[in-house]
Structure 1
Amino acid sequence: MSLLSVSGLGLTLGETLFTGLSLTLQPGDRVGLVAANGRGKSSLLRVLAGQVDPSQGSVTRARGACVALVAQEVPGPLLPLTMRAAALGALPAEARDYDGWRVDVALDDLAVPPELRDRPLAALSGGWQRTALLACAAVTEPDVYLLDEPTNHLDLARIGVLTRWLAALPRSVAVLAVSHDRAFLDTATARTVFLREVASRDFALPYSAARAALEGADEADARAYQNRMQEAQHLRRQAAKLKNIGINSGSDLLKVKTRQLTERAARIEAEARPAHREGAAGAIRLEGSASHARALLAFEDAAIAAPDGRILFRTGQKWIVPGDRVVLLGPNGAGKSRMMAAVRAALSGAGEGVRAAASVRAGISDQDLGQFDANRTPHEILSARFDLGDQAIRSALAGAGIAMARQAAPARSLSGGQKARLAMLILRLERPNLYVLDEPTNHLDIEGQEALEEEIARDAAAALIVSHDRAFVRAVGTRFWRIAGRRLDEVESPEDFFREAEAGGG
């Protein structure tokens, strides 16, 4: 018996996001939902959770089935609450006294340290806030989990915890996860749905294998469409010949045959469906400027300290030269953010132990997208920074996947993926020779991640990168610095760190 089924589902919110979607979730299903930014993934989850009405089609839930949506952002009313209080509040009021024990069980299963359980959510990192929302869902013991970007803001150790937690769920439970984390999808899901405006695809395969199957299916569709169009053209040529013969001979039979051939060709053309072509959500293009400095950044045994002054580690003597793409590895709390802050300070001329060359033009992107004011419109943001002219700005924004209607609305109204693409557009227009990127793939769809990988890999600029996205790190990194104890060591590969971090060893 299915827990949740969808038939002919469609949703239009200003524009058509998807139509004709049919989907069934059975007990034990572990499904990944993949689509480009702005294509309706989060909206679909809200429809499945009963929070938004579809434009067409139906959603059927098994009698008594509990469906829990774990959203990307913490609702405002929960922010003042502690993690424990938020999870307790997810239970029905009448059950909190005798079922309150479920809260500690859920927090234990999610490996939440005791010292974090009684802190307000507003004081926690984005990763722990995401864990708190998962705990709020878990205490209700749902039959279906709907997870919206569950790995965003998680380090590799927490991704490992999440993956093991999902694997340990009862086989009676189904999970549908929206994610752009390719490694997570391959590990945590066994089925992949590619959401499209029409003709969404469903494969009983994890992401990488499903992606290959999708490409094969699209190629087959393209060949079938081409064959049908050739058949229609052949019928039309036959009809044209018969028409001429019929006119010359005055044969009514040939006129009827001509009409039949023409109508058959028209039916074939009307029924044939072109192969799917994914419309780009927006180009990711980075245009670095050249630098002749031997070392763009020099670390002279800098002491990286916590906010309270405690030394987290020392960098030793290290350099970043043009073409280097250095990935900084370390568990949460090891000091990656503090080192990135020290680099930003050096770029502004205020750093200690970190020196930037005079020729450095830095392009900085932080994981919270704080490099632009979200209360201003995308058009205003670019106009204030770059002397491009109105039409060039509009074209640049459209090329980044931000439609005209969105360009004049506050940037806070953009989806997470669109904000990330706006940040990448700002980087491109700044033409840096050194990128300082903190979780640059957060919110970017897979298409955007792959485009960013390609641009960084072929750009002559240097980069210092913090990322928990294993596929991205493997694709772009040329050097790897690992925080180990109180030292910053250069290692040949990130793979040992990945294995240890996923196992919980950091």
Structure 2
Amino acid sequence: MSATECSCPWLFFFACSGIHGQIQGERTSFVELQARQKNKIYAIIQEKPMSILQAQQLGISYGAFDLFKGISLNVANDAKIGLIGPNGVGKSTIMMILAGLRTPTTGQVSMAKNRSIGYLRQEAVEAFGNRENSVYTEMLAVFEHLHQRQAQLHELEVQMADANGNLDALLAEYGRLQEAFELAGGYDFEVRIQQTLEGLGLGKDAWHMPLNHLSGGQKTRALLARLLLEKPDLLMLDEPTNHLDLDAVEWLENTLINWPGAVLIVSHDRYFLDNVVNTIWEMTPAGIETYSGTYSSYLLQRQERWEYQERVSKEEKARLLKDVDFIQRNWVRASTHARALGLLKKVSRELAIIEQYGLMSLRSGKKWSEYGIRADKPLDVIEAIRGVNAISIPTNRPPKIRPQFRHFNNSGNYVVRVQEAEIGYPGNSLFTAHDVELKRGECAVLMGPNGSGKTTFLKVLLGELEPLSGEVVPGAGLQVGYFAQAQEQLKGTHTVLDEFQRHKDMEEESARRHLAAYLFRGEDVFKPIDGLSGGERARLVMALLALEGANFLVLDEPTNHLDIPAREALQEVLEDYSGTILLVSHDRYLINRLATRVWEIKDKQLITFNGNYREYILRQTALRNGGQNGNRKILLTQAPMVRDNSRETRQRTLDLEKLEGRIREKEKEIQHLSQELQKTGKSGAFEKMHELSNKLAHAEARMEELMQEWEQLVAQ
């Protein structure tokens, strides 16, 4: 099979004849391909055709430092996988290895024959370089093979017009080519291009712009658009929602949910993962653990796994302590020495396994010989006792922030009121807010496209700008804590402790105690501000705001640049805060957990809704559907006006999330069964159709039961 050249800089095709790709203008040569094959970075899977890609014992080392090691993975043909983990753990590195762009220190990657991989790098904005062709021309290049077929059809039309005796042969050839052209999407590829560009937020005004004139965000969207049009068998996307507004993210979600192949996504967008993936790979310094289900399902499974591992670890240590106690008591007795010696050998082997593979490996069911550890002479009794006593119970749970908000005086019942306010700048009206209010204890979330006026509205509410017209009335007794402003005021040359004491006149011991509650412990307090990660800066700002006595927090994109652990930590802090919150964010997971009001800037108007984000979407969907089956849901999804942080309410929220996760999984099952039934119907396999029909009926019945449970829980 000859290789079809690919000019797409982020898309890599792997076929039985070779690997094709171009990275920032450099093509993969045949010599490089041979080197890859020689180094066994890519092999052809013969045994397991159901897997598109496999990896065995991958590792990356820098001298004596192992970034990760011993990672084995499998990607099924229809997998939808979310790869998550803290920043710096190696997620992007392992993606590059799987895409063939980096050689691992150890291990190999294997791939099925005649399959293609498309890879969107996180730093993909550099890929176009100085190329001057337009966005639309770049998209058309994907369908060059269709242009060639179109030219062949046109040539046949010319020949048929002048045909004499061979018209029948020309008509037959024309019919064959036309059918192939239609099956390949020849009559709708331009519609696909337009839908994809518009879906990702690239309007017609950008279609004819040169690639090298695009902004960074526009380049990322253009790259993602071309990748989706290529339709590779495996999509590998590193932070695909960066630079996308909410409409574009939701469009991408729907596209990936219906993607016919496999998808592997690195993302910190928890809501996006909840909607798209059915498997979570959690990457930590210890390796990758696999969880089946959505992100919300992963959270529940992770909690259960933590509890199980802690319980088993305690049981194993208790057993080993009992063993060494027996050895110590019976070592010198002639009648029991042989038994004590046998037990000492066993304990010595187990300590060797624990040292190399961890305490949980004792429950793996493997035989001693399978570990490949040499059976040297046993430890002496004292060494064995010390070794067992030194075993630490693994704590897989990340440390929790313990927020300590200073007592604050309550504001008035109304925190802010807006009436017929026109927001913007002279000569540039952005939107109108007709009748808006925010009460004490609520959390309002402000959403809207980039450039719609969200930050401008915050400045108006904080009194930094005047509305063009109308009235904005702040409430009585407000003490405002402004997250963005606090971030800007951090001095980069200071240490965490210096910066904290600059803001708060506090003894070092008290300051360190407060910072420890926000996970700045030990030497962490001496880190320079310039060296902090996004998550660490966010934690420091929250530690400062907690002592402001603020009863009104204004947060402008607080989760930007935060990894999932940092987002979870910030969420915990805000859930424990009993004051009023005004939040600007694209983080729908955070929005859904905190919001009691949703404010969305749309068509130059501020739309208001009492409830969380999921309820708002349900209402919007019901309205778009003309109210069919929508009124019942709208009535049920009116949230309380004040946030309730009670244990009962939190448990109800967790129960709702768990139930919604099961509903999403059931929806995916129904969609999959429907697609399979449609395919089987075309093949005429009636027994299979009957089996699938029964499964679909059961799934739909269960879906109805789950929806009834959901409605009852929401109505409580």
1:156-194 Cα deviation digits (max 9, x unpaired): 322221122113333xx3211122333322321122212
Offset of residue 400 of structure 1:
5.5
| 8 A contact 2:554–2:581 mirrored in 1 | yes
Offset of residue 265 of structure 1:
1.8
- The CA distance in 2 between the partners of 1:167 and 1:382, in whole Å, is 48
Higher normalized helix content (fraction of residues): 2
| 8 A contact 1:88–1:103 mirrored in 2 | no
Match of 2:206 among 116, 137, 140: 116
Scaled by the length of structure 1, the TM-score of the pair is 0.78
Over 3 Å counting, the alpha-carbon distance change for 1:402 and 1:450 in structure 2 is farther
Is 1:160 the counterpart of 2:276? The answer is: no
1:383-405 Cα deviation digits (max 9, x unpaired): 49935799969995993599869
| 8 A contact 1:80–1:120 mirrored in 2 | no
Is 1:332 the counterpart of 2:414? The answer is: no
Is 1:266 the counterpart of 2:348? The answer is: yes
- The CA distance in 2 between the partners of 1:231 and 1:407, in whole Å, is 42
AA matched with 1:116: A
Over 3 Å counting, the alpha-carbon distance change for 1:503 and 1:364 in structure 2 is farther
| 8 A contact 2:135–2:222 mirrored in 1 | no
**Counterpart of 1:142?**
232
Match of 1:441 among 539, 559, 567: 559
Offset of residue 200 of structure 1:
2.5
AA matched with 2:424: A
- The CA distance in 2 between the partners of 1:86 and 1:386, in whole Å, is 53
**Counterpart of 1:224?**
312
Offset of residue 361 of structure 1:
3.2
| 8 A contact 1:145–1:174 mirrored in 2 | yes
**Counterpart of 2:481?**
362
Over 3 Å counting, the alpha-carbon distance change for 1:127 and 1:361 in structure 2 is same
- The CA distance in 2 between the partners of 1:279 and 1:475, in whole Å, is 21
| 8 A contact 2:253–2:276 mirrored in 1 | yes
- The CA distance in 2 between the partners of 1:59 and 1:378, in whole Å, is 45
Which sits farther off after the overlay, 270-279 or 379-388?
379-388
**Counterpart of 1:68?**
118
Over 3 Å counting, the alpha-carbon distance change for 1:387 and 1:500 in structure 2 is closer
**Counterpart of 1:452?**
570
**Counterpart of 1:237?**
325
Over 3 Å counting, the alpha-carbon distance change for 1:91 and 1:400 in structure 2 is farther
- The CA distance in 2 between the partners of 1:207 and 1:407, in whole Å, is 33
Over 3 Å counting, the alpha-carbon distance change for 1:221 and 1:458 in structure 2 is closer
- The CA distance in 2 between the partners of 1:505 and 1:498, in whole Å, is 10
Q: Give secondary structure in 1 for the equivalent of 2:488.
A: coil
Over 3 Å counting, the alpha-carbon distance change for 1:8 and 1:286 in structure 2 is farther
**Counterpart of 1:470?**
588
**Counterpart of 1:309?**
428
Over 3 Å counting, the alpha-carbon distance change for 1:459 and 1:282 in structure 2 is closer
AA matched with 1:480: V
**Counterpart of 1:342?**
457
**Counterpart of 1:20?**
70
Q: Give secondary structure in 2 for the equivalent of 1:37.
A: coil
Is 1:196 the counterpart of 2:281? The answer is: no
AA matched with 2:488: Q
Over 3 Å counting, the alpha-carbon distance change for 1:505 and 1:116 in structure 2 is farther
AA matched with 1:386: R
Match of 1:480 among 598, 602, 624: 598
Which sits farther off after the overlay, 176-185 or 213-222?
213-222
- The CA distance in 2 between the partners of 1:149 and 1:23, in whole Å, is 20
Structure 1 stretches of 5 or more lacking a match? none
| 8 A contact 1:67–1:142 mirrored in 2 | yes
Offset of residue 23 of structure 1:
0.6
| 8 A contact 2:82–2:273 mirrored in 1 | yes
1:94-148 Cα deviation digits (max 9, x unpaired): 9898699978744533524322323467887876554323124235443322112
AA matched with 1:115: D
Between Structure 1 and Structure 2, whose CA radius of gyration is higher?
Answer: 2
AA matched with 2:586: H
Offset of residue 505 of structure 1:
6.8
Offset of residue 6 of structure 1:
1.2
Offset of residue 479 of structure 1:
2.9
Offset of residue 484 of structure 1:
5.8
- The CA distance in 2 between the partners of 1:476 and 1:358, in whole Å, is 23
Is 1:8 the counterpart of 2:8? The answer is: no
Over 3 Å counting, the alpha-carbon distance change for 1:109 and 1:40 in structure 2 is same
Q: Give secondary structure in 2 for the equivalent of 1:200.
A: strand
- The CA distance in 2 between the partners of 1:266 and 1:5, in whole Å, is 35
1:399-454 Cα deviation digits (max 9, x unpaired): 3599869945955xx7xxx3143134224314452322233334433333333222
**Counterpart of 1:421?**
536
- The CA distance in 2 between the partners of 1:140 and 1:487, in whole Å, is 38
Q: Give secondary structure in 2 for the equivalent of 1:488.
A: strand
Over 3 Å counting, the alpha-carbon distance change for 1:86 and 1:9 in structure 2 is farther
Offset of residue 464 of structure 1:
0.8
Aligned residue pair count: 486
Q: Give secondary structure in 1 for the equivalent of 2:331.
A: helix
1:204-263 Cα deviation digits (max 9, x unpaired): 3222223333333333333333332233222222222221323xxxx7xx4443322112
Structure 2 stretches of 5 or more lacking a match? 1-48, 151-185, 361-393, 626-716
Q: Give secondary structure in 2 for the equivalent of 1:154.
A: coil
AA matched with 2:564: I
Q: Give secondary structure in 1 for the equivalent of 2:482.
A: strand
1:293-324 Cα deviation digits (max 9, x unpaired): 42554434321237851352224353454x33
Q: Give secondary structure in 2 for the equivalent of 1:18.
A: strand
AA matched with 1:498: I
AA matched with 2:195: D
Offset of residue 470 of structure 1:
3.1
Which sits farther off after the overlay, 237-246 or 123-132?
123-132
- The CA distance in 2 between the partners of 1:4 and 1:496, in whole Å, is 39
AA matched with 1:151: T
Larger RCO, structures 1/2 (Cα 8 Å, 6+ apart): 1
- The CA distance in 2 between the partners of 1:150 and 1:284, in whole Å, is 32
Match of 2:609 among 485, 491, 501: 491
Provide the identity percentage: 24
| 8 A contact 1:154–1:468 mirrored in 2 | no
Offset of residue 202 of structure 1:
1.5
- The CA distance in 1 between the partners of 2:572 and 2:420, in whole Å, is 33
Which sits farther off after the overlay, 122-131 or 444-453?
122-131
The equivalences for 1:394-409 within 5 A come to 396=515, 399=519, 407-408=527-528
- The CA distance in 1 between the partners of 2:232 and 2:288, in whole Å, is 26
| 8 A contact 2:515–2:543 mirrored in 1 | no
Over 3 Å counting, the alpha-carbon distance change for 1:11 and 1:103 in structure 2 is farther
| 8 A contact 1:91–1:140 mirrored in 2 | no
- The CA distance in 1 between the partners of 2:606 and 2:68, in whole Å, is 48
| 8 A contact 1:71–1:148 mirrored in 2 | yes
**Counterpart of 1:299?**
418
**Counterpart of 1:33?**
83
Is 1:351 the counterpart of 2:459? The answer is: no
